[in-house]
Amino acid sequence: MAESSLKHLQQAANLTRIRAMSMTHHSQLGHTGGDLSSADVLTCLYLGGILAVDPARPHWEQRDRFIMSKGHCSGAFYATLAARGFFPVEQLKTFMDPLSMLNGHPDRNKLPGVEANTGPLGHGAPIAVGAALAAKMRGEHWRVFVLTGDGELQEGSNWEAAMTAHHYKLDNLTVIVDRNRIQQGDFTENTIQMDPLAPKWSSFGFAVREVDGHNHEELMQVFQSLPLEPGKPTCIIANTVKGKGVSFAENKPAWHHGVPTREQLFMAAEELGVEVPW
């Protein structure tokens, strides 16, 4: 990609980060660490031209489907949807307010661009497999992407879904793992050991690629190469840093659901090279 395009994606990702942090500060609730770690993946998918979606027609039948399985990181997801034009950016200020469209977890009945209600972990991948299978059965060419957390992979439903995806040769399905190595309360490897993770997905019949989940060039290259192998579903393990871009939050379990103070918002904005939006 051209350097100017990569710079644009970086600026957009950092704007998503500060918007998500501002939303969490406003509501005094949220999941800052995961918002920050997933911002680059979301930016490449929605603002890098990977997903075939149309904000003017959110129910367009030929759209690609994206499912935010780690629905607790709704701040980054909402900020990205707003940046893509699914709803006005000003609505981000209402995050978790009474009667707001912006629930703590995404609700497809309230917000355009949301394909599935998520939050209970381990649900997104099975839903994505069902959607990808439906496309195959109907002879449609749209694709399905699902973003999971790494701690979320402790849910057995993900592996049932993986077996099904392999059995039906769902090469229109891409599972992206936000591998930030921290879940609620502790590091993932202290909770349930996951490494080596890539061979696990390979053994379930997936074509697997590990990338730097904060390197937009790497992310765009792998997304533009899908499917990695015809006849196989894809798993992209995006190695990320929980709290990426904000020094006081990076790689700290407490920031899984940490809430920034007003002072910390301005500190984060300075490090990210953006302005506090409100």
Q: Which CATH number belongs to the domain containing residue 254 in this structure? A: 3.40.50.970
> Structurally, how many domains does the chain consist of?
1
Q: List, for residues 59-70, the tens digit of each pLDDT value.
A: 999 999 999 999
> What pLDDT, on the 0 to 100 scale, is given for residue 226?
98
Give yes or no for residue 72 having a pLDDT over 90.
yes
> What pLDDT, on the 0 to 100 scale, is given for residue 244?
98
Q: What's the mean per-residue pLDDT of the chain?
A: 97
> What pLDDT, on the 0 to 100 scale, is given for residue 3?
78
- Kindly state the tokens that stand for 30: 């949220």
* Average pLDDT, integer, range 253-272: 97
* Average pLDDT, integer, range 101-129: 96
| Residue percentage of the chain with pLDDT more than 90 | 97
- Kindly state the tokens that stand for 254: 């407490």
Give yes or no for residue 173 having a pLDDT over 90.
yes
Length of the chain: 278
Give yes or no for residue 2 having a pLDDT over 80.
no
Asked if residue 262 belongs to a domain, the reply is yes
Q: List, for residues 195-217, the tens digit of each pLDDT value.
A: 999 999 999 999 999 999 999 99
Q: What does the H/E/C string look like for the chain?
A: CCHHHHHHHHHHHHHHHHHHHHHHHHHCCCCHHHHHHHHHHHHHHHHCCCCCCCCCCCCCCCCCEEEECCCCCHHHHHHHHHHHCCCCHHHHHHCCCCCCCCCCCCCCCCCCCCCCCCCCCCCHHHHHHHHHHHHHHHCCCCCEEEEEECHHHHCCHHHHHHHHHHHCCCCCEEEEEEECCEECCEEHHHHCCCCCHHHHHHHCCCEEEEEECCCHHHHHHHHHCCCCCCCCCEEEEEECCCCCCCCCCCCCHHHHCCCCCHHHHHHHHHHHCCCCCC
* Average pLDDT, integer, range 82-104: 97
* CA nearest to 206, candidates 171, 160, 155: 171
> What pLDDT, on the 0 to 100 scale, is given for residue 108?
97
| Residue percentage of the chain with pLDDT more than 70 | 100
Asked if residue 277 belongs to a domain, the reply is no
* Average pLDDT, integer, range 115-135: 96
Predicted model pTM: 0.97
State how far the Cα of 96 lies from the Cα of 115, in Å rounded to an integer: 19
Q: Could you list the residue range(s) of the whole structural domain that residue 38 is in?
A: 3-272
Are the C-beta atoms of 207 and 228 separated by less than 8 Å? yes
> What pLDDT, on the 0 to 100 scale, is given for residue 205?
98
Question: Residue 1: pLDDT band by 50, 70, 90 thresholds?
Answer: confident
Give yes or no for residue 14 having a pLDDT over 90.
yes
User: Residues near 19 by Cβ (< 8 Å), separated by ≥ 6?
Assistant: 75, 79, 82, 89, 92, 277
> What pLDDT, on the 0 to 100 scale, is given for residue 119?
85
